[in-house]
């Protein structure tokens, strides 16, 4: 039996032609014949034919909706560098110049970002600064380029009270920036120093030794100054906190190192995910056995890398333990609550025995956050509880 292909549009046209033919015959019979004489043709009224055609078309539309193919996930189109045609990851960060995608190699070869105005320009021989900003600097009407800015930090700040910070332990903060226009105007107006850092495009601003509520207020004032001047941070930047460990015994220092190792999943859930794969931060690469078997804490720090979430090597140089995990930020609420949480956590750990620390923190991750909240106090626990819930939700949706 031959295969017959059904075409709804052809069927509909044939039905309409048949209806028109029947209508013409009906009109002809009325014109040339007596109304009482039958035409001999079993005809339907034109309204009935049109109604049946419409019913049939409605049924066809319903069947086409029922047989609609399942939706397929749309794949992102492949993106190529406009210069070398190298394939780029559509899900990653794509550099663009006037809307054209560009790979990192071609970007570094052909373009540069002005450190003063943050504009993007074609690379030419000479300084990597646009002609407009270069002219303003020559006339003395513009800011100096970021590469020429540096100054020493001011004197230490010792607070008389510690009600807000919740700890009498001294600390220090380092802010890394991508762009910091008019930074030279802050020289002498803030206790923070300014220095070069090869890992970021801007500058690093480091505080003197701070303590108490006055030290925390200095951090808040610096964040307000940076935000008011339009400073910018990106994923390459980090915020580092140094915790004072002067005059602490090796036993207390080992307890802090082990407590951070046990609670690392909690601290990792409080920061942005890209910090955990950053080559200058990453995770924790020391073990409990290495800490317990170490001769003294200075040797333990020298045997570990400084580029990890908790930098133990800072003890040999600064007599501190450095927390490098937080992403680059100029938000004063985020930075100050991060400082409070770690100061209170260290004070709590040093007041406990090693067996109590193992019992409290060597638990499943679902229970560990509740135990850490008891150490850092109500205010930071409430703040970081909201941040943690939001970041875990975004991570689940991604």
Considering the domain architecture, whether residues 312 and 251 belong to the same structural domain is answered as: yes
Residue 55: inside a domain: no
Residue 70: inside a domain: no
pLDDT band at 40 (very low <50, low <70, confident <90, very high): very low
* pLDDT at residue number 396: 84
pTM for the whole structure: 0.65
Alpha carbons 170 and 207: distance in angstroms, whole number = 12
Q: How many domains does the chain have?
A: 2
Give the mean model confidence (pLDDT) for residues 143-154: 70
Which of 143, 167, 190 terminates a domain? The answer is: 143
Considering the domain architecture, whether residues 138 and 256 belong to the same structural domain is answered as: no
Residue 223 burial (10 A CB sphere; 0-12, 13-18, 19+): buried
Considering the domain architecture, whether residues 124 and 257 belong to the same structural domain is answered as: no
Considering the domain architecture, whether residues 118 and 185 belong to the same structural domain is answered as: no
Q: Which has more pLDDT, 33 or 71?
A: 71
The average confidence (pLDDT) of the chain is: 82
Which of 95, 110, 143 terminates a domain? The answer is: 143
* pLDDT at residue number 172: 96
Give the mean model confidence (pLDDT) for residues 328-348: 95
From 340, 343, 341, 374, select the one nearest 357 (Cα to Cα): 374
Residue 297: inside a domain: yes
What are the residues whose beta carbons fall under 8 Å from the beta carbon of 283, sequence distance 6 or more?
264, 268, 276, 308, 309
From 133, 173, 126, select the one nearest 153 (Cα to Cα): 173
Query: What sign does the CA torsion over 259, 265, 271, 275 have?
Result: positive
Give the mean model confidence (pLDDT) for residues 63-80: 59
Residue that is written with structure tokens 């074609």 in the block? 122
* pLDDT at residue number 137: 60
Considering the domain architecture, whether residues 105 and 208 belong to the same structural domain is answered as: no
Q: For 99-114, what is each residue's pLDDT tens digit?
A: 677 787 787 777 777 7
Bridge partners of 320, per DSSP, are: 244
Which of 119, 143, 167 terminates a domain? The answer is: 143
pLDDT over 80 (residue 139): no
* pLDDT at residue number 112: 75
Q: Please state whether 317 falls in left (phi above 0), alpha (psi between -120 and 50) or beta.
A: alpha
Percentage of residues in the chain having pLDDT higher than 90: 42
316: part of which helix (H) or strand (E)?
Answer: helix 314-318
pLDDT over 60 (residue 282): yes
* pLDDT at residue number 144: 56
Considering the domain architecture, whether residues 340 and 370 belong to the same structural domain is answered as: yes
Considering the domain architecture, whether residues 138 and 190 belong to the same structural domain is answered as: no
Cα separations (Å) of 110 from 89, 330, 363?
A: 20, 31, 53
pLDDT band at 337 (very low <50, low <70, confident <90, very high): very high
Highest mean pLDDT pick, 50-59, 93-102, 135-144, 299-308:
299-308
Considering the domain architecture, whether residues 136 and 173 belong to the same structural domain is answered as: no
pLDDT band at 97 (very low <50, low <70, confident <90, very high): low
pLDDT band at 373 (very low <50, low <70, confident <90, very high): very high
Number of H helices, E strands in the chain: 14, 14
* pLDDT at residue number 202: 85
Query: What sign does the CA torsion over 289, 293, 297, 303 have?
Result: negative
Q: For 233-279, what is each residue's pLDDT tens digit?
A: 989 999 999 999 999 999 999 999 999 999 999 999 999 999 998 88
Considering the domain architecture, whether residues 220 and 364 belong to the same structural domain is answered as: yes
Considering the domain architecture, whether residues 374 and 291 belong to the same structural domain is answered as: yes
pLDDT over 60 (residue 51): yes
Pairing of strands 95-97, 210-211: unpaired
Q: Which has more pLDDT, 336 or 302?
A: 336
Kindly state the greatest CA–CA separation across the chain. 125
Considering the domain architecture, whether residues 131 and 224 belong to the same structural domain is answered as: no
Residue 13: inside a domain: no
Residue 59: inside a domain: no
Residue 58: inside a domain: no
pLDDT band at 31 (very low <50, low <70, confident <90, very high): very low
Residue 191: inside a domain: yes
From 5, 6, 19, 17, select the one nearest 60 (Cα to Cα): 6
Alpha carbons 342 and 332: distance in angstroms, whole number = 16
Residue 25: inside a domain: no
Considering the domain architecture, whether residues 136 and 207 belong to the same structural domain is answered as: no
SS3 267: helix
Alpha carbons 205 and 249: distance in angstroms, whole number = 30
pLDDT band at 62 (very low <50, low <70, confident <90, very high): low
pLDDT band at 38 (very low <50, low <70, confident <90, very high): very low
Residue 253 sits in which domain range?
157-397
* pLDDT at residue number 244: 95
């Amino acid at each position: 039996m031959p295969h017959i292909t059904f075409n709804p549009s052809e069927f509909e046209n044939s039905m309409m032609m048949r209806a028109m033919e029947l209508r013409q015959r009906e009109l002809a019979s009325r014109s040339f014949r007596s109304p009482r004489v039958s035409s001999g043709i079993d005809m339907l009224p034109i309204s009935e034919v049109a109604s049946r055609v419409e019913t049939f078309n409605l049924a066809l539309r319903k069947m086409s909706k029922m047989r609609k193919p399942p939706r397929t996930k749309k794949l992102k189109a492949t993106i190529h560098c406009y210069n070398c045609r190298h394939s780029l990851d559509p899900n990653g960060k794509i550099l663009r110049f006037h809307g054209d995608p560009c790979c990192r190699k071609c970007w570094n070869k052909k373009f540069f970002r002005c450190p003063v105005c943050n504009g993007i320009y074609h690379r030419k021989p000479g300084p990597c600064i646009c002609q407009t900003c270069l002219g303003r600097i020559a006339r003395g009407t513009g800011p100096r380029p970021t590469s020429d800015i540096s100054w020493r930090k001011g004197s230490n700040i010792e607070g008389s009270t510690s009600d807000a910070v919740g700890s009498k332990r001294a600390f220090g903060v380092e802010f890394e920036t991508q762009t910091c226009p008019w930074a030279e105007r802050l020289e002498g107006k803030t206790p923070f120093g300014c220095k070069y850092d090869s890992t970021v495009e801007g500058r690093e601003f480091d505080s003197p030794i701070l303590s108490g509520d006055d030290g925390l207020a200095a951090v808040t004032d610096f964040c307000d100054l940076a935000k008011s001047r339009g400073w910018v941070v990106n994923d390459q930047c980090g915020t580092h906190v140094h915790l004072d460990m002067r005059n602490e015994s090796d036993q207390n220092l080992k307890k802090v190192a082990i407590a951070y190792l046990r609670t690392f999943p909690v601290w990792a859930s409080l920061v942005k995910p890209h910090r955990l794969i950053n080559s200058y931060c990453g995770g924790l690469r020391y073990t409990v056995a290495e800490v317990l078997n170490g001769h003294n804490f200075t040797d333990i720090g020298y045997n570990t890398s400084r580029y990890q979430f908790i930098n133990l090597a800072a003890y040999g140089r600064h007599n501190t333990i450095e927390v490098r995990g937080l992403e680059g930020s100029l938000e004063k609420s985020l930075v100050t609550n991060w400082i409070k949480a770690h100061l209170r956590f260290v004070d709590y750990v040093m007041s406990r025995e090693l067996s109590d620390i193992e019992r409290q923190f060597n638990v499943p991750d679902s229970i560990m956050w509740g135990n850490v909240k008891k150490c850092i106090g109500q205010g930071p626990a409430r703040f970081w509880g909201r941040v943690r819930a939001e970041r875990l939700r975004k991570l689940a949706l991604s």
